[in-house]
Amino acid sequence: MAKTLELPVLLRLIDERSVAFRAAVASAPSLEVQVPTCPEWTLLDLVQHLVR
């Protein structure tokens, strides 16, 4: 059975993963680099997809 997380835990996880994603994007040499797990996408494509 799936476990439902409490709202504060969910918010913390979203915050932690958002910080990590922003750091990864900021450290990339370019927004035109390919996403390793989805080579037809650039980093910019991924960012735009996630912010929609």
Residue 2 lies in a domain: no
Q: Give the C-alpha separation, 50 to 14, whole Å.
A: 13
Give the tens place of pLDDT for each residue, 16-30: 999 999 999 999 999
42 strand-pairing partners: 34
Domain count, the chain: 1
Is residue 37 within 8 Å of residue 49, measured between CB atoms? no
DSSP 46: H
Please determine, for residue 1, whether its predicted confidence score (pLDDT) is greater than 80.
no
Residues 6+ apart with CB under 8 A from 31: 25, 42, 43, 44, 47
The H or E element spanning position 14 is helix 7-27
Q: Is the pLDDT of residue 2 over 90?
A: no
In a domain, 16, yes or no: yes
The domain of 44 spans: 7-51
pTM: 0.78
